[in-house]
Amino acid sequence: MPVLSIRRYPDPALKSRCTEVTVFDAGLKALADDLHAAMTAAPGVGITAAHCGILQRLVLLDLAELGGRRDYVNPELVSVSEETMEHTEGSVSMPGMTDTLVRPRKVDIRYRTLGGVEMRETLEGFAAICMQHEIDQLDGIFWIQRLSRLKRERLLKKWDKQAR
């Protein structure tokens, strides 16, 4: 069983903006490992510290196209493509709920490693979608806020019904 538990929508942590990580130490590495365990148990392919109620700017993705687990500290979008793509999204904080969103197909990001080294990277396709989704979460934007009002209301009715 993972050390961390994933918060469920509408937990207030999921609507909170996360603070930048300033200390790059063994505690940060341990937090990343605990987040990975929680994400794997969920199961999911991406998670932020906010999903577990820790309001720090830390994202983990575990995608085949990235070669497996990748840790991103303080990630930020530098640029996004004009070309977009549709993709079905969901969240480890709202299991079983998904809907289609449109996001830029390609993003350039800046982030730090767990050791504090500044990096830049270009992500495309599914990896770009996942990173945008997780950066939204770091900014306190839960993915359903990107849906039209009608789609969001339908999804929330399903979520409430499932929760009962």
Catalytic residues: 134
In angstroms, the Cα distances linking 159 to 13, 133, 134, 156 are: 18, 19, 21, 5
Residue in the structure block whose two tokens are 């961390």: 4
Dist CA 2 CA 118 (whole Å)? 29
Which secondary-structure segment (H or E) carries 3? none
Positive or negative, the CA dihedral 98, 101, 105, 107 is negative
Backbone angles phi, psi at 146, to 5 degrees: -85, -10
Asked whether the beta carbons of 34 and 47 are under 8 A apart, the reply is no
> Where does residue 136 fall: left (phi above 0), alpha (psi -120 to 50 degrees), or beta otherwise?
alpha
